[in-house]
A = this chain, B = another copy of it.
């Protein structure tokens, strides 16, 4: 069955909804702005592909100056390896014989594969699947306050680095963190103490990797870092605008939706529900911002319906059949819902891109 798709050259105002749209100019400006910042501070930049999941966008990022890319899954890395990328970092503890076998096959194909570990269990597993003939590079993930994965202290980071160094089939590649926003001092302190301990032991630490979009423009304060990773900056979203990273006008992704019902004076129903916007609130009280009606509140979502409270909208209210554009709370999760992404320039469709790494679970 052939699914309906936008055509190149169509006006976005004609397109059927719900549909995420990427503004080419905003996309290019977001890529250029962050790369310029990284270049000016001598920081290597490693975009996280989770936000777009599209090799052609990663190519734009690398062409602008990114040194490599960041994936979260083995199968994502496989897709990007096939598309020609060599410097691939998978920021996940990989466990289990099936996955380790597949990881080893990938490592045999490309020269720049790297993964992370935050426990001896993960390191022993990795070691069991690799050999000195083609070793795997492993970075130690550090919890500098983000509260997700990572060793809890510089001492633990040093100890795990030593375990990696002595584990057959592995190479110690460096240290890494996914920090909370605006905690550059804590990251710097953790990294500096770890690096000092490694130096005392004569252990070289090639990569010192910091990450995150929300306080990306403070990345230079972590003077010990050699590289920064970020994903969301490429499209930006409502949460990034709130964090101060960008303005709402820098959000390259809009969700085009249609008003399908106006049951009451104060209520509109959109054809964009959680299958288009996701339920990610990220601290907001509602599910996205309607650009055309900023006082409207997307107060509830079911899978195919968005319920909009219009009670605070002064003047004209949207009519049945009218199309509106929504800035999503969180852009990365939207990419995972759609098989194809539609790009436009000045409202004219420029290209469609398959979201090649959507829905990958390994």
Contacts from A to B (Cβ < 8 Å): 1, 3-4, 16-19, 50, 72-73, 75, 78-79, 82, 92-93, 95-96, 98-99, 102, 118-119, 121-122, 125, 143, 147-152, 258, 260-264, 267, 269, 271, 274-276, 278-281, 302-305, 307, 319-321, 332-333, 336-339, 359-362
Residues in B neighbouring A50, C-beta threshold 8 A: 303-304
Docked-complex contact B73 and A263, CB < 8 angstroms: no
Question: A1-B78, A16-B96, A147-B307 are contacts. A278–B269 as well, Cβ < 8 Å?
Answer: no
Question: A4-B98, A279-B281 are contacts. A148–B269 as well, Cβ < 8 Å?
Answer: yes
Docked-complex contact B361 and A276, CB < 8 angstroms: yes
Q: Is the interface of A mostly helix, strand, loop or mixed?
A: loop
Residues in B neighbouring A75, C-beta threshold 8 A: 1, 3-4
> Can you name 7 extra interface pairs (CB under 8 A) apart from A93-B261, A125-B321?
A1-B78, A1-B79, A4-B98, A19-B361, A95-B260, A152-B263, A337-B359
Counted per complex, copies of this chain come to: 2
- CA–CA, A152 and B264, complex, Å: 8
Question: Residue on B with the closest CB to A359?
Answer: B339
Docked-complex contact B336 and A275, CB < 8 angstroms: yes
Most chain B CB inside 10 Å of its own CB: which residue of A121, A271, A321: A271
- CA–CA, A269 and B262, complex, Å: 43
User: Could you list 22 examples of A-B contacts with CB < 8 Å?
Assistant: A3-B360, A4-B102, A4-B362, A16-B362, A18-B361, A19-B361, A50-B304, A92-B260, A92-B304, A93-B269, A95-B320, A121-B320, A121-B321, A122-B261, A122-B320, A147-B267, A148-B261, A148-B263, A148-B269, A148-B302, A152-B263, A275-B336
Question: Residue on B with the closest CB to A147?
Answer: B307
Least Cβ distance of A271 to chain B in Å?
8
Question: Residue on B with the closest CB to A304?
Answer: B72
- CA–CA, A362 and B92, complex, Å: 35
Question: A274-B278, A337-B359 are contacts. A269–B305 as well, Cβ < 8 Å?
Answer: no
Docked-complex contact B148 and A321, CB < 8 angstroms: no
Least Cβ distance of A321 to chain B in Å?
5
Least Cβ distance of A93 to chain B in Å?
4
- CA–CA, A50 and B273, complex, Å: 13
- CA–CA, A267 and B149, complex, Å: 9
Docked-complex contact B149 and A269, CB < 8 angstroms: yes
Question: Residue on B with the closest CB to A73?
Answer: B304
Residues in B neighbouring A147, C-beta threshold 8 A: 267, 307
Question: Residue on B with the closest CB to A141?
Answer: B261
